[in-house]
Amino acid sequence: MATTTATGELHAQPYPSTTTWDRTLDYIKTTDHKLIGIYYLVTSGVFLLIGGLEALLMRWQLAVPQNHVISADVFNQLFTMHGVTMIFLVIMPVLVGFANYFLPIQIGARDIAFPRLNAMSYWLFLFGGLLLYWSLIEGSMPAVGWFSYANFWESPFTLDNGPIFWAASLIVLGAGSIATALNLIVTVIALRCPGMTLTRMPLFVWMVLVNSFIIIWAMPFLTADAVLLLFDKFVGTHFFQPEQGGNVVLWQHIFWGFGHPEVYIMILPAFGMASEIIPVFSRKPIFGYTFVAFSGVAIGFISFIVWAHHMFTVGLTVSEQAFFAATSMIIAVPTGVKILNWLGTMWGGSIRWTTAMKYCVAFIVQFTVGGITGVMFAIVPLDYASTDTYFVVAHFHYVLGGGSLFLILAGVYYWFPKMTGRMLSERLGNISFWLTFIGFNVTFFPMHFLVAMPRRVYTYTNTAWAPYNLIESMGAVVFASGVLLLVYNVIASLRNGKEAGPNPWDAWTLEWSTSSPPPAYNFATIPTVRSRRPLWDLAHPEAPDWRFERHESQRGAQPSPAGRSGSEGAVATLTAERSTVQAAPAQPAVTRPRFEMTPARMLMLFFISSESIFFISLIVMYSVYAFHFSSSQLEIPRTFWFSLALFSSSGTMIVAEKFLSAGNRKMFNLFLVTTIILGATFLVGQLTEYAKLYSESVTISSAREFGTTFFTLTGFHGFHVFVGLVGLTGLLFLNRDWRPGHESPVKSIGYYWHFVDGVWVFIFSIVYLRTMF
């Protein structure tokens, strides 16, 4: 396994590559989760500089009124690309990068569950980003906002390739994110080391887990929107063209169905990082572990039912407004709980003012400001007044810049020593912190006062806004200089930073028990943990956490056990030591989590849950338009017969699996072939139906939306059937010599096949049976 230190030399590699080409190939082929984590961080660091440059150009243009250094068109491109870059190419991948690197180590695993899939995710991210920026070379950068509202990108309004770049790259990036999220979920569920129960996982792991679920359930909305965009552009559908019966608001609903969970995707892992860093530099365990973990879960759920607060001005009904106003206020509660947890952790602690800690404290202040303005938008009339103004810009920059980005910077200072073996210069770090802190606030705080200035205007005439804008632009330069200083700090410290040693911060989670950087396989011996702070236990055998855990943990707060030693402690330690040597597995506390489910099947099930969301978007789309049309052209009895073929193929698949587990290879093949034939029958039936409809000139681009939605929904299902058939056919050939010891993919592909059949139950009911009533 090729792994690298910061200086790029390869170690732990038995057959060292000699030529430059071989070495490059090693980097390209790597499946090491740590190296891939560093790839993520470096790549998104570069994108951060690009996105920051775009912001600086905008600030240059806005510094004075009636400025004309940048044209209106370029300005549109700049704010669109700045948003898309910062969201999809900076904050999300940075957090994924940290999760990639540290999540497996923090749960005591040697690797991520699917290392090759993980490598693919990274490359999808890189290529997706390059695809987006290819638009710069083509001269048609997307210019319709990061959310690409449908009325802006539809052909009469936008004729260039910008929205297509947006959609294509977001589909690629989305695929990568979903793959990573699935990978991380399975890793957490299946690969935790002995003793690493869910309630002992580091909070970063908790937040990444919640976050991964949000990703797999929210990203498909975006994918659906982007796919429909491409359909409108290329296939001639008109989902979002009102004059053809389409609905532009539907785009917004589906987009924000993704878009608001996305806000939490960008902050939750950062919350996790704060919950790791603040305790270490307050020299106290986290205050209210359970609250931090479960408020994260609550945020995850609620984040799916707040989306329409982005759309109050679209014109919702009163009850809709009331609902989304209420949920938007409710989601502030678990977020506020976390603020309390961090403050409670710092309270009475002996705080070490490292750069990482300073960033965390700045985060708490700034995020609270952003959170308060966020709750203000839940007040609907206030939202009417402030929507699309600089007040909103101030709000989300305080949340994402002052929140996520500041925590990411904290994470860089905290984990850099572990990743590279060298300390970042604290002196430069201090200067850099103050530059970013002052720069950030000078840039974005005045925006709160510009509640009358509209967003996304390339210039303005109102001289009353001029001083604020000038100050903001100057702040942006200071902010940028702080970020550049960090870049310099990283480069300089890689060369001649202080040696870090394994645990420079005297921290307590498992990553600090390895060398810096950790070996390719993370742990020579898989660790066993007994508490949330395994390294505390190791350093303090007289008062380990696990002695107090059973009594204290459920109540949340864990008082520091220091000073609780004594004779009782000594006895306990002795007992504990004997038990670790002799009968460790017998102790209930160290039983290894066991699952019937293999990782591959787990991956498939979660993937299916993600796919379901995609289908739900399409079904919603169909149902919304279904009011308009009569589908008298549909022949229900005929469709029923070939649907029956599909449904019965699920049964034959189950029988096939039964025969396989009984070892009857011949009958397995027979029933597998039957399954394939039945599935193919369905596809043929569907194609003849399409042919008939086309002969009656009901096409995918026919007006009034029946064709558009019918062919898209059933067509995507048909495509899934086709993919399932490819999988089943693959089984027919591959399963013969699938080596013993490798898990056969029969079960996983079987799951997928049942899912495809199950989706058709819904589609058949909604599209066909509904018309009978």
Residue 85, both tokens? 């870059």
Cβ proximity to other proteins: between 72 and 734 the closer is 734
Cβ proximity to other proteins: between 111 and 757 the closer is 111
The span of 286-294, 520-528, 556-564, 712-720 binding other proteins (CB under 8 A) equals 520-528
**Sole binder of other proteins in the list 25, 46, 136, 687 (CB under 8 A):** 25
Separation between Cα atoms, residue 157 and residue 621, nearest integer Å:
23
Near other proteins in 703-732, by CB under 8 A = 730
22 binds other proteins (CB under 8 A): no
Residue 121 CB, nearest distance to other proteins (Å)?
8
The span of 76-84, 281-289, 405-413, 495-503 binding other proteins (CB under 8 A) equals 495-503
Separation between Cα atoms, residue 298 and residue 333, nearest integer Å:
10
Cβ proximity to other proteins: between 419 and 520 the closer is 520
Cβ proximity to other proteins: between 227 and 672 the closer is 227
Residue 496 CB, nearest distance to other proteins (Å)?
20
Residue 292, both tokens? 């931090």
513 binds other proteins (CB under 8 A): yes
Q: What is the biggest distance separating any 2 CA atoms in the chain, rounded to whole angstroms? A: 90
The span of 45-53, 81-89, 131-139, 560-568 binding other proteins (CB under 8 A) equals 131-139
Our CA dihedral for 329, 332, 333, 338, rounded to 10 degrees, sits at: 180
Separation between Cα atoms, residue 502 and residue 417, nearest integer Å:
8
Site string for other proteins, 348-387 (x = CB under 8 A): ----------------------------------------
733 binds other proteins (CB under 8 A): no
Residue 10, classed as helix, strand or coil, is strand
Residue 107 CB, nearest distance to other proteins (Å)?
12
Q: Are 11 and 5 in contact (CB under 8 A)?
A: yes
Separation between Cα atoms, residue 592 and residue 196, nearest integer Å:
8
Site string for other proteins, 224-243 (x = CB under 8 A): ------x---x---------
Near other proteins in 47-86, by CB under 8 A = none
537 binds other proteins (CB under 8 A): yes
655 binds other proteins (CB under 8 A): no
220 binds other proteins (CB under 8 A): no
497 binds other proteins (CB under 8 A): no
Residue 210 CB, nearest distance to other proteins (Å)?
25
The span of 28-36, 91-99, 264-272, 484-492 binding other proteins (CB under 8 A) equals 28-36
Helix (H) or strand (E) holding 605: helix 599-626
531 binds other proteins (CB under 8 A): no
**Sole binder of other proteins in the list 515, 554, 630, 661 (CB under 8 A):** 515
Residue 516 CB, nearest distance to other proteins (Å)?
8
Separation between Cα atoms, residue 349 and residue 280, nearest integer Å:
10
503 binds other proteins (CB under 8 A): yes
Separation between Cα atoms, residue 682 and residue 406, nearest integer Å:
54
Concatenate the DSSP letters of all residues of 295-315 into one string. Answer: HHHHHHHHGGG-GGGG-HHHH
Q: Are 508 and 534 in contact (CB under 8 A)?
A: yes
The span of 199-207, 276-284, 305-313, 519-527 binding other proteins (CB under 8 A) equals 519-527
The span of 91-99, 427-435, 534-542, 556-564 binding other proteins (CB under 8 A) equals 534-542
**Sole binder of other proteins in the list 51, 334, 429, 518 (CB under 8 A):** 518
- Give 3-state DSSP helix, strand, coil % of the chain, rounded to 5: 75, 0, 25
Give the N- to C-terminal CA distance of the chain in Å, as an integer.
63
31 binds other proteins (CB under 8 A): yes
Cβ proximity to other proteins: between 349 and 593 the closer is 593
510 binds other proteins (CB under 8 A): yes
Residue 160 CB, nearest distance to other proteins (Å)?
10
Residue 138 CB, nearest distance to other proteins (Å)?
7
248 binds other proteins (CB under 8 A): no
Separation between Cα atoms, residue 611 and residue 596, nearest integer Å:
23
Q: Which residue carries 């599909």 as its tokens?
A: 646
Separation between Cα atoms, residue 487 and residue 288, nearest integer Å:
35
Q: By rule CB under 8 A, what count of residues binds other proteins? A: 77
Cβ proximity to other proteins: between 607 and 760 the closer is 607
Near other proteins in 79-118, by CB under 8 A = 108, 110-111, 115-118
Q: Are 455 and 75 in contact (CB under 8 A)?
A: no
759 binds other proteins (CB under 8 A): no
Residue 120 CB, nearest distance to other proteins (Å)?
4
**Interstrand relation of 10-11 and 3-4 (parallel, antiparallel or unpaired):** antiparallel
Phi, psi of 389 (to 5 degrees): -115, 175
Residue 478, both tokens? 């200071």
Separation between Cα atoms, residue 756 and residue 751, nearest integer Å:
9
Cβ proximity to other proteins: between 31 and 648 the closer is 31
523 binds other proteins (CB under 8 A): yes
Near other proteins in 569-598, by CB under 8 A = 580-581, 584, 590
Separation between Cα atoms, residue 560 and residue 1, nearest integer Å:
40
Separation between Cα atoms, residue 159 and residue 483, nearest integer Å:
37
Residue 691, both tokens? 């042919």
Question: Interhelix angle for 332-346 vs 318-330, to 10°?
Answer: 10
Cβ proximity to other proteins: between 9 and 737 the closer is 737
Separation between Cα atoms, residue 735 and residue 742, nearest integer Å:
11
Residue 529 CB, nearest distance to other proteins (Å)?
7
Q: Are 669 and 733 in contact (CB under 8 A)?
A: no
Q: Are 705 and 628 in contact (CB under 8 A)?
A: yes
**Sole binder of other proteins in the list 514, 610, 639, 709 (CB under 8 A):** 514
The span of 43-51, 452-460, 506-514, 700-708 binding other proteins (CB under 8 A) equals 506-514
Cβ proximity to other proteins: between 176 and 246 the closer is 176
The span of 528-536, 624-632, 636-644, 705-713 binding other proteins (CB under 8 A) equals 528-536
Our CA dihedral for 310, 312, 318, 321, rounded to 10 degrees, sits at: 30
Near other proteins in 132-191, by CB under 8 A = 134-135, 138, 161, 164-165, 168-169, 171-172, 175-176
Near other proteins in 389-408, by CB under 8 A = none
- Residue 363 sits at the vertex; the CA angle it makes with 434 and 275, to the nearest 5 degrees, is 125
The span of 79-87, 92-100, 522-530, 548-556 binding other proteins (CB under 8 A) equals 522-530
Q: Are 728 and 644 in contact (CB under 8 A)?
A: no
**Sole binder of other proteins in the list 423, 535, 613, 713 (CB under 8 A):** 535
Residue 655, classed as helix, strand or coil, is helix
**Sole binder of other proteins in the list 58, 91, 103, 124 (CB under 8 A):** 124
Separation between Cα atoms, residue 148 and residue 323, nearest integer Å:
25
Cα separations in angstroms, 81 against 266, 380, 454, 506, 509 = 17, 29, 19, 41, 38
**Sole binder of other proteins in the list 127, 323, 434, 716 (CB under 8 A):** 127
Residue of 479, 577, 467, 476 lying closest to 530 (CA atoms):
577
**Sole binder of other proteins in the list 56, 65, 67, 123 (CB under 8 A):** 123
